[in-house]
Structures are given as structure tokens and as C-alpha cells.
Amino acid sequence: MPTHYSTIVIGAGAIGSATAYWLAKGGQRDVLVLEQFELGHANGSSNDHHRIIRHSYHDDIYGRLTRPMYDNWAALEAASGQQVFIKTGGLDIAIEGTPGTASLERYRAVMAANGVPFETLNKAQLAKRFPQWHIAEDEVRATFQEESGFIDIRRATATHIAMAQNLGVEVREHTAARAIESVAGSAAGAGTGTGTRTVRVITDGEVFTADKVVVCAASWTDALLQPLGQTWQTTVTEEQVVYVQPKDLKPFAVENFPIWCWHGDDFYYGFPMYGEIAVKLARENLRRVVTQDTRSAAPRPEETALLHDFLAERLPEAAGRVVLAKTCPYDMTPDRDFILDFMPGHPNVIVGSGAAHAGKFCGLLGEILAELIIEGRSQHPIEPFRADRPALVNASIAPVFDLKG
């Protein structure tokens, strides 16, 4: 007889780990997490020092979620005694007359609609408050939001999984789920929507059964869900970050230098020094389409040079020696929105996709996915993240991978 679990979580990245924790916290017993590599591995999207967290968003479907997102990080820190959120404040900067100003206005509207306070800064105010920035253009528009900062994503993921294990969750490393079968059968303890169906998860050595399975497999999702009739395709891209040692360290320390987003022809973003004696920066969405089988983890020298040039021009005191450059995969849905829903036609299979901007949200997404499993619905507004929305089921709708709004 296969071993039976209440829920199997596939993937122990940021989202799967948070889901396992929230399941155990919600009273679920017999939860199994399957991870194809070792915990904390670097092949997925959740292995680095930081992920930006902010209220400023391009769309209110996310603006409505940022308060509970912050609440969940605070609750995790209180329960674990581990700091995972580093508050630095955050800047959004655009040059007047460029398309970036429209993005800033949109961010401001979303924050205003949700009662989030923010400050607007002109060029002189920005230069006075944050003299690290050297902006040659005459007219600059900036927004400062004091609750922004970053999540130490590696630490957050490790904290979620440790908390889950301490609450009784079983974690199997080096155990890849090769297939999911949703079949009629005697589901022990079936919850809302499962009827009498059960699910079988096949690995190389064993078969497990469960009342429900939640797939948090990020850039590996399609291999598992296409046989179940997945109607969308996950686009995987190779992204690159670079760590640069400042020429003067103190101005770029966490307490002196906010996280930032630069809304120009390209969207650049960056962090103060943390984890390495270096600031980190990147361009959002390089559109280098790969698969997990074809990707090369080698950083490209031309991207490193471009990012260093950005620093040399805009943050010259930060533009010292390149310490480290590395790549990381984005897993993008066709509309770049999350998927948090039951798999159409398979009421005991749940999908959790963060669409390559969920580092900040993973503590909340864990709660939402656990709610779907335990109660069959979530208290949070997740209607936009349905798996049967037009952008996912209608192949004639062209994909949009841009978060600028």
C-alpha cells in the first residue's frame, strides 16, 4: 500500500516551504514535502540574500494584498525569533517625460487607494536626502515609501521549512515527483471539493497518495501539470544580478541606503549592502528565454558591464569592484499574474505560481494555499489568480511579461 498523506507539497522553494508551514500551523497532520534537490539549493528562484518588498505596485490586485503580506512576515518573525524582513525604505525614481513617470503615478494611485502613506520627492529633495544618487537630468520624479525593504529570501525559506518540520511536516529531499495522477478512490478525510477522489504522486522509488497535492514547482511546473491538461505555458527566463563593492561603504549600509527601483527605458532595481560587502543590482526581466534543461548558469559579462555602467553613472560611489555575478530563473505566467487555484478538472490538485515576483509575497501565498487546501477557499481576494482566467486558457491572447503596468 502506498503511504497516504493529507497533503503533499511539491517543491520546497519559497512558496512551497511557506505552504508547508501554514498547513501545519492550520492543524494539518500527515503533510509531506517533496523536493527534487537538497533544501536551500541554488537551481530555483529562492536562493539569494534579498527580494524587494514594497507596497508600491502596478496593479491594485497586489496593492490589496500588501498589508497582510507584511503582517505574515511579522508573525513569522515573532513565532520563530528570526529576522527575515530588513526595513530600509524604498525609492521609485523616474526621469520626467519618460514612460517611467506613468509607472510612478500608477504606483502612487495603488498606494493611495490602500491608505499607504508615501512621500514625493523632486530632484533637489532626492539629492539632499539621498546624496548617493547623482542624476544629471533636470527633472526627476521620485517616491519614497518608508515600509519598503527586502526579505532575506534564503533565510525566510529556511525558517518556514524548519518551522514546518518542528510542527511535524515530513520533508524528503532528493525526491522528485515525476507524475501526478488524480484518480477516483477512497480519500481519507476528504475536504471541500475533493469528493471521493484521491491523488497519487509518483517518484522514482515510491508512490504516495494524498487527499490533495499542491504544486509549487515554479520553473518545473509544466512537466507536472501538462499531463493534467494545463492550458498555459510557463515561460522561464535567465535573469542576472551583480554584486559590486562600493568605493565608500558607509553610505550604502542598510541604515543609510534604501532599496530602489529605476523606471526608465529599462527597469533597474537594487539593494544596500547585505549578505556580501557589496550592493546588488539587476535589470528586471531580461527576456532570455530558456528551460531548466537548456539554461546555463554562467553570468554574461556584457550584462555585468551594463549594470556596472549604471552604477558608475547614477551611484558613482558604489561603482567599485565587481564581487559576484550570478543568474536565477524567472517562472512567468502568460499575464505575469499569480496562479492560486485548484487545477481545472482536478479538484484535489492546487497550483501555487508566483509569476516571478512573489519573493515578497511568499509568506502570504503559503497562507492562501493552505486555506485552499484546508477550507476550500481563501479569506484573501484571489479571484484574479484563478487558473481558468482568459489569459491562461485562451491561446490567442498574447503573453505580457511586463510588470511596469
Which residues here bind ligand FAD, judged by CB under 6 A?
10-16, 34-37, 44-46, 51-52, 153, 176-177, 216-220, 224, 239, 241, 282, 328-330, 354, 356-360
Nearer residue to ligand FAD within complex by CB, 14 or 164: 14
Helix (H) or strand (E) holding 67: helix 66-80
CB 346 → ligand FAD: shortest distance, Å?
Answer: 16
Residue whose C-alpha cell is 515576483: 357
How far apart (Å, rounded) are the C-alpha atoms in residues 215 and 213?
6
- Write out the DSSP string of 158-207: HHHHHHHHHTT-EEESS--EEEEEEEES--TT--TTTTTEEEEEEESS-E
Closest chain position to ligand FAD (CB): 13
Nearer to ligand FAD, 123 or 358 (CB): 358
User: Could you tell me the smallest distance in angstroms from the CB atom of residue 136 to ligand FAD?
Assistant: 27
Q: Min. distance of Cβ 166 from ligand FAD in angstroms?
A: 20
Q: Cell for 259?
A: 532599496
Question: 316 vs 405, which CB is nearer to ligand FAD?
Answer: 405
Closest approach of ligand FAD to the CB of residue 128, in Å = 27
Q: Give me the least distance between CB of 280 and ligand FAD, in Å please.
A: 9
Burial of 257 (0-12, 13-18, 19+ CB in 10 A): buried
Closest to ligand FAD by CB, 45 or 378: 45
- Cα–Cα distances in Å, from 259 out to 55, 88, 146, 212? 13, 6, 10, 39
Please give the backbone phi and psi of residue 320, each rounded to the nearest 5 degrees, phi first: -95, -135
b/e code 94-126 from CB counts within 10 Å (16+ = b): bbeeeebbebbebbbebbeebebebeebebeeb
Spatial contact of 123 and 139, defined as CB atoms under 8 Å apart: yes
Smaller CB separation from ligand FAD, 173 or 316? 173
Provide φ and ψ at 87, rounded to 5°. -85, 125
**Min dist. Cβ of residue 255 to ligand FAD (A):** 20
In angstroms, give the least distance from the CB of 160 to ligand FAD: 10
Q: Is 150 helix (H, G, I), strand (E, B) or coil?
A: strand
Residue closer to ligand FAD, measured from CB, 91 or 282: 282
If the CB atoms of residues 36 and 182 are measured against ligand FAD, the closer one turns out to be: 36
